[in-house]
Amino acid sequence: MTRRWTSLQDSDATPFDAGSTGLTSKTSGEAIRELVNRVTVSASPGFSFGRTGNLSSGTWLLRPGSVPSNKSGINVGIGTPLLLKVTVASENEDTYSVGIYQHDGNEINLNLVTTVSITAVRKQVFDLSAALEFDRQIAVRVLTGSAKNLGVDLQLSGSTS
């Protein structure tokens, strides 16, 4: 049977079952656009913080460029940002906790978003669902305990618009 162009369904008119995908779209077209947004957001930028040495409680990690993240953090340019994962890595099997903060630069309007606790391991992955704010800077701090040569990386989701 030959189909005419006019009989083909538009992707925005094709229902989409979002069950167990984590997507919210109701049509195939919307779902594709939602995925494009998510992939783009996950790749850029990298939210990575770190610092060398034996870090004690109260130490702010540095953003790329060796800038203390409490002074200038990484600004969030992602719409409706959600913190999905925090991964930590240290040289030794350290016990400590890390606080994820947001501020408007130079610790202005500083607020603690969430905390993760690490007990005697060198690496750990935390699954979260913590709301962040668009156009505010992220900073990371060792809250308790100590860690040597620590790296903390964040994975965010959101939209490019």
Residues of this chain that bind other proteins (CB under 8 A): 51-54, 56, 58-62, 66, 68-71, 107
In the structure encoding, which two tokens stand for residue 26, read together? 């109701």
Supply the Cα-derived Rg of the chain in whole angstroms: 20
Identify which of residues 59 and 90 has a Cβ nearer to other proteins in the complex.
59
Give the list of residues 6+ apart from residue 136 with CB closer than 8 angstroms, or none.
Answer: 75, 76, 102, 103, 104, 109
Residue 90 CB, nearest approach to other proteins (Å): 15
Rank residues 31 and 142 by Cβ distance to other proteins and give the closer one: 142
Least CB distance from residue 121 to other proteins, whole Å? 23
End-to-end CA distance of the chain: 42
Cβ 34 to other proteins shortest distance, Å: 38
| Spatial distance between the Cα atoms of 155 and 161, rounded to a whole number of angstroms | 18
**Closer residue to other proteins, CB minimum distance, 16 or 60:** 60
